[in-house]
Amino acid sequence: MERLAGAGVSPGAGYGPAYVMTGAVPEPAPGARHGGDPAAEAARAEAAMERVAAELEARGEAAGGDAKDVLAAQAMIARDPALSADVTALIGDGTAAERAVFEAFLHYRDILSGIGGYLGARAADLDDIRDRVVAELAGVPMPGLPRAAGRPYVLVARDLAPADTALLSPEIVAAFVTEEGGPTSHTAILARALGVPAVVACAGAASIAPGTPLLVDGDTGVVRVLPSREQVAATLRAARERETVPAVPAAPGATSDGHPVALLANIGGPGDVPSALRHGAEGVGLYRTELLFLDRGQAPSEEEQMAAYREVLTAFPGKTVTVRVLDAGADKPLSFLPPPGREPNPALGRRGLRVLRDHPDVLAAQLRALARAAAGTSAALRVMAPMVATAEEASWFAAACEEAGLTCAGAMIEVPAAALRAADIAAVADFLSVGTNDLAQYAFAADREAGALAALQDPWQPALLDLVAMAAAAGVPCGVCGEAGGDPALGCVLVGLGVSSLSMGARALPWVRAALARHTLEQCRTAAAAARTARTPAEARAAACDHLPGLP
Ligand code: PEP
Ligand code: MG
């Protein structure tokens, strides 16, 4: 039995055979020839295209909703008679089926790319279908996520894109393990929201052989290869026991001496609302709207957006719902919001509000959809902008909100410059919300996707606490919606720094509520001051916990 170690980023344990997600399907060799029977080769190609079409259709049926239409359209492409005629013609000239498929798709890809715009963006769909047909012909694993494999499997990948993670379901994926990725990467955040145990930054994961039984502990970050039966039973049992949620009064979040702290949920769409309500969310502190549209080639219509926003607003009558406008770019590219050119470093390029300033029509449509969605509901809608760096940007966003009839406009504090000048931003924003994930990434110049830099991403870093303190003292309500808010002890420290609300993945809510309910505001303040005098994250936690009895 081998033991691998990484960072446990989504709690719970999972056991199953490894499904190793492959990277790109290799390009069939140029000039590859078939054995001399064009009719048989053409029939082989035809059958592969039909199998891929049928598989795409079946996936669509299983997924339902928008995915069904998208996958049905892809199946139609795989069955396209003109494409099939081109493949047959190339095979007639002696080209092997794999290469013929590759070249025929290339031809159509060039045509679409040349047209540009919406059709240009569909070129990537063609690549996916092509790779599937080539994989089918070559007998190699399909790219992307597998369909239900009969029993839950452990997904193993070098890295997973948020767009792939969003499609995972705990019924099919027992756990996932990646070689790359950090604890605050969007992939880790989505895994927590979905309840899929996960370990990232796990050295050696990419060389696990397909089908190998794996036991993944998302709390400790340990991955056991070929575990014993006893080991599996003990780890799964321990994880179930840890899941026992503390019994906390259903009262609104507050310290033991009654200082109110709104405890809100981070959500990625209406699908996350039931869990938020079940875990006692008093509203929504971060609605990551870009997660709704990761797979889109075209901007979603106002109607569609309105429906997705209204569903959430009506679930929280009389409560705060904080919607973040599309935060595109870096690891969450939206193909309908492209940056103006190639960016050498997308995380430092046009993302968040910067992208929306390049596409003001998309922002205006989203704000209109939000205003229409809120009309007639009793939820208190707050709208906020991601990646604000200056007061001028915050002011531009507030004006756009006002134009759409939205009365509460805020700014996320995710860039150190914004934290340093939070008072200037507060002068033009109704509220602030600290995104500690990006704030740590930019303050420490440490990519949040890079597993090897996870220590610099530690939200207990005293420098990060200093920046949060600046935002909290800026003069308008200031919450935290980064992953830091979901750590019970750190939640107390953030409250001690002056933060008025904490927003987190729903599963963390009962733990944070219980921690706050056991400590006074004064204890939180003393703990915060102690943490800020420390030099390292470990010392900061230890110093804070000295003043927060009962917290580890
Ligand atoms: C953050 O950066 O802390 C945040 C909440 O936004 P996201 O994680 O979606 O970038
Ligand atoms: Mg962010």
pLDDT score, position 147 = 58
pLDDT score, position 360 = 96
Pairing, β 222-225 against β 2-5 = antiparallel
> How far apart are alpha carbons 94 and 76 in whole angstroms?
27
Q: By residue range, what is the domain housing residue 131?
A: 38-138
**CATH code, 402:** 3.20.20.60
**CATH code, 69:** 1.10.274.10
In the block, tokens 């705060």 appear at: 320
In this structure, are 160 and 11 located in the same domain? Answer: yes
**CATH code, 186:** 3.50.30.10
Grade residue 150 by pLDDT with cuts at 50, 70 and 90.
Answer: low
pLDDT score, position 64 = 67
In this structure, are 118 and 209 located in the same domain? Answer: no
Q: Residue range 219-235: average pLDDT?
A: 93
Grade residue 71 by pLDDT with cuts at 50, 70 and 90.
Answer: confident
Q: Residue range 361-377: average pLDDT?
A: 97
The answer to whether residue 526 sits within a structural domain is no
472 token code pair: 């909290």
Asked if 97 and 44 touch (Cβ cutoff 8 Å), the reply is yes
Label residue 55 exposed, middle or buried (CB < 10 Å: 0-12, 13-18, 19+).
middle
The share of the chain scoring above pLDDT 70, in percent, equals 95
> How far apart are alpha carbons 1 and 223 in whole angstroms?
10
DSSP H helical ranges for 116-256: 117-121, 123-138, 162-165, 186-194, 229-242
pLDDT score, position 114 = 74
Of 178, 204, 228, the residue that ends a domain is 228
pLDDT 10s digits, 340-354? 778 889 999 999 999
In this structure, are 353 and 495 located in the same domain? Answer: yes
Of 183, 210, 228, the residue that ends a domain is 228
In this structure, are 282 and 166 located in the same domain? Answer: no
| Number of domains observed in the structure of the chain | 3
Grade residue 125 by pLDDT with cuts at 50, 70 and 90.
Answer: confident
Residue 266: how many other CB atoms lie within 10 Å: 27
Torsion, Cα 503 507 509 511, to 10 degrees, reads -130
- Atom of ligand 1 lying closest to residue 189 CA: 8
> How far apart are alpha carbons 217 and 61 in whole angstroms?
33
> How far apart are alpha carbons 381 and 322 in whole angstroms?
6
Q: Residue range 205-210: average pLDDT?
A: 88
pLDDT 10s digits, 243-259? 777 776 678 999 999 99
Residue ID of nearest Cα to ligand 1 atom 4: 435
pLDDT 10s digits, 133-144? 999 998 887 777
Grade residue 379 by pLDDT with cuts at 50, 70 and 90.
Answer: very high
Label residue 284 exposed, middle or buried (CB < 10 Å: 0-12, 13-18, 19+).
buried
The answer to whether residue 544 sits within a structural domain is no
- Atom of ligand 1 lying closest to residue 414 CA: 2
426 token code pair: 């507060």
In this structure, are 421 and 455 located in the same domain? Answer: yes
Residue ID of nearest Cα to ligand 1 atom 8: 437
pLDDT score, position 488 = 95
Residue 404 CA, ligand 1 centroid: distance in Å: 25
- 159 residue type, one letter: D
The answer to whether residue 167 sits within a structural domain is yes
pLDDT 10s digits, 278-311? 999 999 999 999 999 887 878 999 999 999 999 9
324, 438, 487, 503, best to mutate for ligand 1 pocket (most atoms within 8 Å of CB): 438
CA atoms within 13 A on the CB side of 187: 31
The answer to whether residue 256 sits within a structural domain is no
In this structure, are 55 and 7 located in the same domain? Answer: no
- Is 107 noted as a catalytic residue in this protein? no
In this structure, are 119 and 151 located in the same domain? Answer: no
322, 324, 327, best to mutate for ligand 1 pocket (most atoms within 8 Å of CB): 327
In the block, tokens 């190609």 appear at: 45
Q: Residue range 3-9: average pLDDT?
A: 90
Residue 17 CA, ligand 2 centroid: distance in Å: 34
Q: Which residues lie with the beta carbon below 6 Å from any ligand 1 atom? A: 189, 286, 288, 327, 414, 435-438, 481-482
Label residue 380 exposed, middle or buried (CB < 10 Å: 0-12, 13-18, 19+).
middle
DSSP H helical ranges for 299-345: 302-315
Using the predicted structure, report yes or no on whether residue 148 has a pLDDT greater than 60. no
Instruction: Give the range among 58-72, 324-338, 407-421 with minimum mean pLDDT.
Output: 58-72
Enumerate the known binding-site residues for Mg(2+): 414, 438
pLDDT 10s digits, 161-196? 776 777 777 788 999 999 888 888 888 888 888 889
Label residue 424 exposed, middle or buried (CB < 10 Å: 0-12, 13-18, 19+).
middle
The answer to whether residue 301 sits within a structural domain is yes
Q: Residue range 434-457: average pLDDT?
A: 92
In this structure, are 72 and 213 located in the same domain? Answer: no
Grade residue 152 by pLDDT with cuts at 50, 70 and 90.
Answer: confident
pLDDT score, position 142 = 76
In this structure, are 123 and 191 located in the same domain? Answer: no
Residue 161 CA, ligand 1 centroid: distance in Å: 16
Q: Which of 202, 401, 478, 481 is catalytic?
A: 481
- 229 residue type, one letter: R
pLDDT 10s digits, 398-423? 999 999 999 999 999 999 999 999 99
pLDDT 10s digits, 86-120? 999 999 999 999 999 999 999 888 887 777 666 66
In this structure, are 167 and 310 located in the same domain? Answer: no
In this structure, are 281 and 222 located in the same domain? Answer: no
| Local structure of 20: helix, strand or coil | strand
Pairing, β 380-388 against β 409-413 = parallel
Residue 225 CA, ligand 2 centroid: distance in Å: 34
- Is 519 noted as a catalytic residue in this protein? no
pLDDT score, position 249 = 67
The answer to whether residue 250 sits within a structural domain is no
pLDDT score, position 149 = 58
Contact residues for 399 (Cβ-Cβ < 8 A; gap 6+): none
Q: What is the 3-state secondary structure (H, E, C) of 440-483?
A: HHHHCCCCCCCHHHHHHHCCCCHHHHHHHHHHHCCCCCEEECCH
pLDDT score, position 301 = 94
Grade residue 460 by pLDDT with cuts at 50, 70 and 90.
Answer: very high
pLDDT score, position 544 = 98
Residue 387 CA, ligand 2 centroid: distance in Å: 7
Highest mean pLDDT among 35-44, 63-72, 387-396: 387-396
Grade residue 25 by pLDDT with cuts at 50, 70 and 90.
Answer: confident
Contact residues for 211 (Cβ-Cβ < 8 A; gap 6+): 17, 18
pLDDT score, position 342 = 81
DSSP state letter for 346: G
> How far apart are alpha carbons 460 and 476 in whole angstroms?
24
In this structure, are 196 and 338 located in the same domain? Answer: no
Q: Taking all residues of the chain, what is their mean pLDDT, rounded to a whole number?
A: 91
pLDDT score, position 251 = 82
* DSSP-assigned beta bridge partners for residue 265: 284, 504
Instruction: Identify which ligand lies nearest to the alpha carbon of 433.
Output: 1
Nearest Cα neighbor of 470 from 416, 521, 544 is 416
* DSSP-assigned beta bridge partners for residue 225: 2, 214
Asked if 290 and 332 touch (Cβ cutoff 8 Å), the reply is yes
pLDDT score, position 248 = 67
Task: Compute the C-alpha angle 543/470/513, nearest 5°.
Answer: 55
pLDDT 10s digits, 73-83? 888 989 999 99
Backbone angles phi, psi at 433, to 5 degrees: -140, 120
Nearest Cα neighbor of 198 from 232, 230, 157 is 157
The answer to whether residue 551 sits within a structural domain is no
Contact residues for 120 (Cβ-Cβ < 8 A; gap 6+): 112, 113, 114
Residue ID of nearest Cα to ligand 1 atom 6: 435
Pairing, β 501-504 against β 478-480 = parallel
Of 122, 138, 154, the residue that ends a domain is 138
> How far apart are alpha carbons 481 and 386 in whole angstroms?
12
Helices vs. strands in the chain: H and E counts, helices first: 22, 16
Torsion, Cα 141 145 148 150, to 10 degrees, reads 50
The answer to whether residue 102 sits within a structural domain is yes
The distance between the two most distant Cα atoms of the chain, rounded to a whole number of Å, is 84
Enumerate the known binding-site residues: 288, 324, 414, 437-438, 448
